[in-house]
Chain A
Amino acid sequence: MELVFDRVTKQYKNKIAVDRVSFTLKKGVYGLLGANGAGKTTLMRMMCGVLRPDRGEILYDGRKAEEEDYRNVLGYLPQEFGYYPDFSAMDFLMYLAALKGIPRMQAREKAMELLELTDLASAARKKIKTFSGGMKQRLGIAQSLLNDPEVLVLDEPTAGLDPKERVKFRNLISELGNDRIVLLSTHIVSDVEHIADIILMMKDGAIIHQGSLEEIIRVIQGRVWECTLDSQEAQSLMENCPVLNIRQEKEGTFLRVVCGQKPAESAWPVEAGLEDLYLYYFSEHGQGGK
């Protein structure tokens, strides 16, 4: 089970969305992190065969992403999850099961099982147009699992879910990663932090970092500081270092910054997190990739 991206490039007019990206995915959960416009969705669409790379290729165990055999083992939740408003949840799943080539009887059982899993069993016969945003998102997750995919691509799967549902799906995705390739993209850094075995950081169409949480955080380990300064000192520091957090306190302005050396006398070093790394790369003063 190996999904290979080989110098994959995609360009929209004069903007390069994905720039010669090469990496290999094996069993496990992969988290794709990047700011808006970094090329995450384009990369995922190419991975699902709904967008053709201008150059390079995507191969799954030697099969091209455009082939039916590959689509047969693929589960996909797009960022903009479409649906037919007048279909019931059950009809929708049955239709997608038909598109995935699942026999009718088996499809019905699987659809029921997934509706239970996503807490939609009671709404199975209701039209999708009556669903809330969270219910639609859960239905999207359910459909992506219909064919028990070997490759699961989830573009912002937890968007629109409440914290309880998010945790539930985080755990589910984590479980799914045991025997398949799961690639998820999200803006919710804590989701990736909790479940991704490997994190891929994307900026300007290129993968700028990849590795486990520990490996990836190493870049800024020992460079994250917190301090409380008066407003003038805080302002001066903010102009020179990427700020990860800022809040007003009684004693002054509390700052969490990334800095190669101790930024102020009163600053103390803290353990770096993925969010720090994300902000370090993608904030206004971001350094990543440069």
Chain B
Amino acid sequence: MREIMYLTGYEYKKIFQKRSTWIALALVALWTVFSGISGIIGDYYVEGEKAGTRYQMVKKEREALEHPEIGELNEDFFRREQEMSELYAPYDNYHVLLSMIEQQVGKIDKESMTTEDFYKMRKVMLENISKGQNLSEGERAFHMKENEQITTPYAYGNMLGFDYYFRMLPLNFVFLSLAAAIILAPMFAGEYTSHMDGLVLSSRFGKNKLIQAKLLTGISFGFLASMLFGGILLLEIQAVYGLSGWNLPLQVSPTGCYLSLPVNLLEFAGTVTACCAISTCMTAVFVMFCSVKMKSPFGVIIVSFSFITAPLFLIYMVRGHRLLFMLINSMPTSMVFPQSTAAHQLLSVGGHYFYFFQWVPVVYLCLMALLSWRSFCNFQKHEVCI
């Protein structure tokens, strides 16, 4: 094991000696920093009039949401909201939720909304979504049961940070996957193009520990980069929006409005971050597999870019076809989208239902093992030809 770790160190050294690595990472870092603060850049307008800067607006909204009197989506909340003659910060998010519900159930009477109405509407909304997505009876029953497990009235507070995190995360990880493709493409193919394959394969550890070290490097790079950039984004968001609403139910954030998953924001953030990390690792393994096969890093980058970006477009084309949807939605790029990880379409095994975030990582682990093993065998059998 010590030799593998030592060789892994050298693989990292090779990676970080390339200018392309630094450029790719710098671009991802820049995007991460920008996406974390983009919400506070510029001014805030009300009816065409400048009301202040976006930062002031966020600050005001944050303070209002963290106010002790806004603790639950209960009778008091609805009464106070109806008493307000103009829009007031803590109720902005509530109005977004209502609009989202309205899109699924049709026009609703917002003026005389009571607690009971709100939760009833949500239930109708879930039923409509189930019908719209052609879910099976079992899936519908499962989602209703899940929905009932969420404690009502919903706890309410500052969900801004987590919601912003859920919105920014996908694009950040798509960029990270593209960067990983550029960085890891030469992992094996670089040995062919630099004519080092003969030397490394004729060395003692060239056909065993070196390959293990390369695979470990790729996977650990995917994981560490995910943690690093996910962490940077979360820190920025904590500084700007705050993460004090970690124990609120997922359903109070616009990202989770349509979902029935009974978890709090922190648990969901952990789940989607883990999905993002394992998706990046899966992409890394795929890139390395191509790298063994293709002999040219440039070709590997082209194939990997297609692999990463194709699901972004294909997902819209397969909405009506369940099997294709399950396939495209389980691809690594899809799995960085929070809504995809907790999509309503479930995998049914022996009467048990599983969300994407539950079964896809298991499939990824199996695929990663399989592709790693194939990469291992292919590089081991690689022949240095004239």
Interface residues of A (CB under 8 A from B): 12, 41-42, 45, 48-52, 66, 68, 71-72, 74, 76, 78, 80-87, 91, 95-96, 98-101, 104, 143, 147
24 CB < 8 A contacts A-B:
A12-B385, A45-B198, A49-B201, A49-B202, A51-B383, A51-B384, A51-B385, A68-B207, A68-B208, A71-B207, A74-B202, A78-B198, A81-B195, A82-B191, A84-B14, A84-B194, A85-B194, A86-B18, A98-B3, A98-B7, A99-B204, A100-B204, A100-B205, A104-B6
Q: How far is the CB of A136 from chain B (nearest CB, A)?
A: 11
Out of A68, A71, A82, A95, which one reaches B198, CB within 8 Å? A82
CB-based contact A99/B205 at 8 Å: yes
CB-based contact A80/B202 at 8 Å: no
Give Cα A218 to B156, complex, Å: 100
Neighbouring B residues of A72 by C-beta, 8 Å: 204
Neighbouring A residues of B112 by C-beta, 8 Å: none
Q: How far is the CB of B120 from chain A (nearest CB, A)?
A: 65
Neighbouring A residues of B197 by C-beta, 8 Å: 50, 82
B85 at the interface (CB under 8 A from A): no
Residue of A80, A81, A87 with most chain B CB atoms under a 10 A cut-off: A80
B27 at the interface (CB under 8 A from A): no
B203 at the interface (CB under 8 A from A): yes
CB-based contact A52/B383 at 8 Å: yes
Neighbouring B residues of A86 by C-beta, 8 Å: 17-18
Neighbouring A residues of B13 by C-beta, 8 Å: 91
Instruction: List CB contacts (< 8 Å) of B4-35 with chain A.
Output: 6-7, 10, 13-14, 17-18
Q: How far is the CB of A53 from chain B (nearest CB, A)?
A: 11
Q: How far is the CB of A208 from chain B (nearest CB, A)?
A: 21
CB-based nearest B residue for A69: B204
Out of A71, A83, A147, which one reaches B206, CB within 8 Å? A71
Known: A45-B384, A87-B17, A99-B210. A68 touches B204 (CB 8 A): yes
Give Cα A241 to B6, complex, Å: 61
Neighbouring B residues of A101 by C-beta, 8 Å: 3, 204-205
Known: A50-B383, A98-B3. A80 touches B204 (CB 8 A): no
Give Cα A104 to B2, complex, Å: 11
Neighbouring A residues of B384 by C-beta, 8 Å: 45, 50-51, 78
Q: How far is the CB of B288 from chain A (nearest CB, A)?
A: 18
Residue of B7, B10, B17, B199 with most chain A CB atoms under a 10 A cut-off: B199
CB-based contact B386/A41 at 8 Å: yes
CB-based contact B203/A99 at 8 Å: yes
Q: How far is the CB of B384 from chain A (nearest CB, A)?
A: 4
B200 at the interface (CB under 8 A from A): yes
CB-based contact A96/B199 at 8 Å: yes
B302 at the interface (CB under 8 A from A): no
Count of chain A to chain B residue pairs whose CB atoms are closer than 8 Å in the complex:
87
B327 at the interface (CB under 8 A from A): no
CB-based contact B204/A71 at 8 Å: yes
Known: A68-B208, A98-B6. A48 touches B202 (CB 8 A): yes
Q: How far is the CB of A231 from chain B (nearest CB, A)?
A: 41
CB-based contact B10/A98 at 8 Å: yes
Known: A52-B383, A95-B10, A99-B210. A82 touches B202 (CB 8 A): no
| Binary contact track B164-205/A, C-beta < 8 Å → 1, others 0 | 000000000000000000000000000100111111111111
Q: How far is the CB of A86 from chain B (nearest CB, A)?
A: 4
Known: A51-B384, A51-B385, A95-B10. A143 touches B199 (CB 8 A): yes
Instruction: List CB contacts (< 8 Å) of B338-386 with chain A.
Output: 381, 383-386
Known: A42-B386, A45-B384, A84-B17. A100 touches B203 (CB 8 A): yes
CB-based contact A76/B198 at 8 Å: yes
Give Cα A68 to B205, complex, Å: 7
Residue of B191, B207, B386 with most chain A CB atoms under a 10 A cut-off: B386
Q: How far is the CB of B168 from chain A (nearest CB, A)?
A: 34
Neighbouring A residues of B10 by C-beta, 8 Å: 95, 98
Neighbouring A residues of B198 by C-beta, 8 Å: 45, 48, 50, 76, 78, 80, 82
Give Cα A56 to B210, complex, Å: 28
Question: Which 4 residue pairs of A and B lie closest in terms of their CB atoms, listed nearest first?
Answer: A82-B195, A82-B196, A99-B203, A86-B17
Neighbouring B residues of A52 by C-beta, 8 Å: 381, 383
Q: How far is the CB of A68 from chain B (nearest CB, A)?
A: 6
Neighbouring A residues of B196 by C-beta, 8 Å: 82-84
Q: How far is the CB of A38 from chain B (nearest CB, A)?
A: 12
CB-based contact A83/B6 at 8 Å: no
Known: A48-B198, A76-B198, A82-B196. A96 touches B386 (CB 8 A): no
Give Cα A81 to B205, complex, Å: 19
CB-based nearest A residue for B205: A99
Instruction: List CB contacts (< 8 Å) of B259-307 with chain A.
Output: none
Known: A86-B18, A101-B3. A78 touches B204 (CB 8 A): no
| Binary contact track B36-55/A, C-beta < 8 Å → 1, others 0 | 00000000000000000000
Give Cα A127 to B6, complex, Å: 21
Residue of B194, B203, B381 with most chain A CB atoms under a 10 A cut-off: B203
Neighbouring A residues of B383 by C-beta, 8 Å: 50-52
Additional 19 contacts, C-beta under 8 A, given A50-B383, A86-B17? A12-B386, A48-B198, A49-B201, A50-B197, A50-B198, A50-B202, A71-B206, A71-B207, A78-B384, A80-B195, A82-B196, A84-B194, A86-B18, A87-B17, A99-B7, A99-B200, A99-B203, A101-B3, A104-B6
Neighbouring B residues of A50 by C-beta, 8 Å: 197-198, 201-202, 383-384
Give Cα A227 to B107, complex, Å: 112
Neighbouring B residues of A41 by C-beta, 8 Å: 386
Give Cα A42 to B386, complex, Å: 8
Q: How far is the CB of A73 from chain B (nearest CB, A)?
A: 9
CB-based nearest A residue for B13: A91
CB-based nearest B residue for A41: B386
